[in-house]
Amino acid sequence: MSIRSCLAFVVLAFVSLSAAAQPPAAGGYHRIGLPSGASDRPFPYTVEVPSGWAVKESKESPGLWLGPVDANPPKDPRLIYVRISLVDLGDPEKAAANIRANDAKNDAWSAPLVEVRDLEGVKGVLVRMDSGTGATARSTLALKLPLEKGGVDFMASAPRAEFEKLLPIYERILLSVRRRAS
């Protein structure tokens, strides 16, 4: 076997092993990390987003936006908003109970879905919130996860009619969030 053949075999083996170690996400999605704002530590979660999506910032909001390159924050319903929350998510059951209790006291919005979800060892709260009526009716799907202090919210929101059409995409993205490997 010539040196060239050996080198080609080694390169092909390395490429095959690399692809096996990091399989592409199904359906044209890929996993991305998010900037943390701290140079010494990466953000503790990653998320799968459709190919062609980017991380965006807006002067109108303190968080980050995930969405198609042509989407403009904050109004585009295709966007996923990621924000730091002061709400402690150390006890997801308690957080879910608080959401349900607030829903019962407030007629301005409802939470028809409040679930504690385990995302590969990290427990968070998945909540759908509906507000408004008629032309102003909106729905938001949020995944609330713990951070060292407080939490992080991944949120997707749209007018109700659009929300129902986008819900499968919102669920696919939000439920793909995982703790970053150490």
Q: Report cis status (omega within 30 of 0) of the bond before 74.
A: yes
65 within domain boundaries: yes
Work out how many domains the chain is built from and give that number: 1
**Residue 35 exposed, middle or buried by CB count within 10 Å (0-12, 13-18, 19+):** exposed
130 within domain boundaries: yes
110 within domain boundaries: yes
Beta bridge partners of 122: 119
16 within domain boundaries: no
- H helical segments located in 22-151: 92-105
CATH number assigned to the domain comprising residue 129? 3.40.1000.10
159 within domain boundaries: yes
Q: Is the overall model pTM greater than 0.85, yes or no?
A: no
147 within domain boundaries: yes
Which tens digits make up the pLDDT trace of 116-169?
999 999 999 999 999 999 999 999 999 999 998 899 999 999 999 999 999 999
Looking at residue 91, the DSSP 8-state letter turns out to be S
21 within domain boundaries: no
11 within domain boundaries: no
Tell me which residue range forms the domain holding 112. Answer: 27-179
Percent of the chain residues past pLDDT 70, beyond the cut:
83
